[in-house]
Amino acid sequence: MRYDFDTVVDRRKTDCSKWSVGEGELPMWVADMDFRTAPEVIEALRERVDHGVFGYTEIKDEWYDAYINWWRERHGFTMEREGLMFCTGVVAAISSIVRKLTTPNENVLLLTPVYNIFYNSTVNNGCRVLECPLVYENGAYSIDFDDLEKKLSDPQTTLMILCNPHNPVGKIWDRETLRRIGALCKKHHVTVISDEIHCDLTDPGTGYVPFCSVDDDCRSNAIMCMAPTKTFNLAGLQTAAIYVADPVLRHKVCRGINTDEVAEPNAFATVGAIAAFTKGGEWLDQLRGYIAENKKILYRYVEENIPGVSVVRGEATYLCWIDISAIGPSREVAAFIRKATGLYITAGAVYGKGGDGFLRINIACPRQTLLDGLQRLKQGIDAYMAGKNR
């Protein structure tokens, strides 16, 4: 079956965060997609709605099987059933884990620029963010391992939140990089949270490496957070999972999410996840092709039409990272573009150290919307430069 990603869906009347913008504005910021989810998921949810009774819900075998089989078949990693826990969201999981595993004023290490909510989950729970900026050289990102080790070896550093693959730079960490991170964290007694929410949204022909699949250092010392919500555009269903191989660590995490009351599903959360992971494979593969094509269009458009600007080549996520360091500071440029053209994208400064000088754009939208966004981007940057050179 051929799935449709070209139809523009009007999201304005659905209390949708992304589209809660002014008339004529075009939001390409927050990480959800403008596509309808897979028809197979809609069908399963419709059946559940038709039942009409929406009482308390349990986690059944099908939910565990759906995660286990998807990770085994797609990512070559087998999780044991007892290692898996339901959680209402990846951010809910991360915040709860920070609360449970740290004491006030400890350091949580982040490789920056990174998903901004990691900062909130850290500081809202009484910890400090310790930034280890990624190295950006010749258009590519890597880790400064000397700096990382120095910061992990601080006895106040007890947790690291890894974004695997990495939002916003679109990087897929390879096995050797993950092995080195895992070894350093183990050596310095730093627990790793590996946020793998973007792991299914890789370019066709490329895959990611589940952190716990790397080796024993990684497996025994990590908490993996996963979800179908980015992949299948289900963020509003509030459905995610946590995997912890080590039983002692698992018990702590389990107590944390239960105490915080984020361990129980609503009536649609497991239905959506099960349908996505058992019936959504073909839809996802076509989606990945569509997003890859959107990325190519973005790369080409910027190269041919917007001088002084380039796009970092990323193999994962539908979030693209645009280098505007030759243009101006990101908050100013993003605000200017929005005011001048209505295009709403995110200033890189939001993502912490190393983020200023970049803009993040979400290209998970029909081609017609993308082309509109690209024209506004050019128009906005041209106008910004014209004002600067006046």
Ligand X SMILES: Cc1ncc(COP(=O)(O)O)c(C=O)c1O
Catalog residues that contact ligand X under the rule CB under 6 A: 31, 89-91, 115, 163, 167, 195, 197, 227, 229, 235, 240
Nearer to ligand X by Cβ, of 114 and 385: the residue is 114
Q: How far is the CB of 167 from ligand X (least distance, A)?
A: 4
Q: How far is the CB of 378 from ligand X (least distance, A)?
A: 26
Nearer to ligand X by Cβ, of 63 and 115: the residue is 115
**Which residues partner with 133 through β-bridges?**
112
Nearer to ligand X by Cβ, of 158 and 229: the residue is 229
Q: How far is the CB of 224 from ligand X (least distance, A)?
A: 12
Pairing of strands 240-244, 84-87: antiparallel
Nearer to ligand X by Cβ, of 166 and 186: the residue is 166
Q: How far is the CB of 236 from ligand X (least distance, A)?
A: 9
**Distance (Å, whole) CA 146 – CA 152:** 10
Q: How far is the CB of 329 from ligand X (least distance, A)?
A: 23
State the residue for tokens 């419709």: 46
Q: How far is the CB of 118 from ligand X (least distance, A)?
A: 8
Angle between helices 90-101 and 247-259 (to 10 degrees): 110
**Distance (Å, whole) CA 172 – CA 137:** 16
**In angstroms, how far is the first alpha carbon of the chain from the final one?**
54
Nearer to ligand X by Cβ, of 195 and 372: the residue is 195
Pairing of strands 157-163, 107-112: parallel
Could you tell me which of 227, 226, 224, 225 has the C-alpha nearest to residue 272? 227
Nearer to ligand X by Cβ, of 90 and 148: the residue is 90
Sheet of strand 346-347: strand arrangement: 310-311, 319-323, 358-362, 346-347
Given phi > 0 = left and psi -120 to 50 = alpha, else beta, which region is 204? beta
Q: How far is the CB of 361 from ligand X (least distance, A)?
A: 14
Q: How far is the CB of 165 from ligand X (least distance, A)?
A: 9
Q: How far is the CB of 114 from ligand X (least distance, A)?
A: 8
Q: Is 266 helix (H, G, I), strand (E, B) or coil?
A: coil
Nearer to ligand X by Cβ, of 89 and 133: the residue is 89
Pairing of strands 26-27, 84-87: unpaired
Are 66 and 278 within 8 A, CB to CB?
A: yes
**Distance (Å, whole) CA 341 – CA 239:** 35
Nearer to ligand X by Cβ, of 130 and 225: the residue is 225
Provide φ and ψ at 341, rounded to 5°: -130, -10
Tokens for 62, please give them: 């099908």
Could you tell me which of 54, 362, 77, 360 has the C-alpha nearest to residue 224? 77
Nearer to ligand X by Cβ, of 48 and 230: the residue is 230
**Distance (Å, whole) CA 295 – CA 215:** 33
Q: How far is the CB of 49 from ligand X (least distance, A)?
A: 22
Pairing of strands 319-323, 310-311: antiparallel
What is the torsional sign of CA 275, 276, 277, 281? positive
Nearer to ligand X by Cβ, of 107 and 231: the residue is 231
